[in-house]
Amino acid sequence: MEALGTDTKHGRCCVCMVKNKICTRKCEFSAYFPNEMQDDYEAATKLFGTQNIIRMMKLAAHEQKHLLASSILKEGAAWTDDNIGGGYGVIQKLRWEIELHEASLSKIRMKISEEKKQLVLLSNQTGDNIKGGYGVIQKLMWEIKLHEVYLSEIRKKKKTISSTFK
Ligand SMILES: [Zn+2]
């Protein structure tokens, strides 16, 4: 049987690495942002900011944390794959990103109102699956939160970049 080794064997988690902290066995982030996700995590911090990521993770219910973390990392990976350097190109890209995320947001909001209608229907019937339904809505709520944080970070970025081109 494998002995329970120390976490240093796997290196620090991404959050502790960024904050230059010792990552202990009890670290609340090590399960969600392990060492090997470093590239995606660093890209994600450029999008959301470390403080926002930590705040969102702390706000998330325990059973939602994995989903939230993987969404954050996915956004980071997408940003890296697709990043372009230099002035106006960046602004154009940010404009598209804003539009895309606004479109996703309105789609998610529509989905939520549909899910809510379904829930009302369900609760008028047996009462089965209602918990599952709320789970779906919770998930969509997190998606909205992520998109909103993303949008505000992009808007900030766009403002900063635009002001350097005056
Ligand atoms: Zn850690």
Q: Where are the domains of the chain?
A: 1-83, 86-166
CA of 82 to the centre of ligand 1 (A): 28
Average pLDDT over residues 146-151: 80
Look up residue 50 and give its DSSP letter.
H
pLDDT for res 41: 94
Residues of the chain above pLDDT 70, percent: 72
Q: Ligand 1 centre from 43 Cα, in Å? A: 18
Retrieve residue 74's tokens.
Answer: 């996915």
Which pLDDT belongs to residue 4?
A: 41
Distance 44 CA to ligand 1 centre (A): 16
What spacing in Å lies between the alpha carbon of 40 and ligand 1's midpoint? 16
- Rounded to the nearest angstrom, the distance between the alpha carbon of 10 and the centre of ligand 1 is 11
15-35 confidence digits (pLDDT tens): 999 989 999 888 999 999 999
How many angstroms is it from 29 CA to the middle of ligand 1?
5
For the stretch 136-158, what's the b/e string if a residue is b when 16 or more beta carbons lie within 10 angstroms of its beta carbon? ebebbebbbbbbebbbebbeebb
Region 102-112 average pLDDT: 80
Cα–ligand 1 centroid distance for 22 (angstroms): 7
Query: What 8-state DSSP symbol labels residue 86?
Result: S
86 pLDDT tier (thresholds 50, 70, 90): very low
What distance in angstroms lies between residue 72's CA and the mean position of ligand 1's atoms?
16
CA of 16 to the centre of ligand 1 (A): 4
pLDDT band at 5 (very low <50, low <70, confident <90, very high): very low
Q: What residues contact residue 94 under an 8 Å CB cut-off, 6+ apart?
A: 154, 157, 158, 161
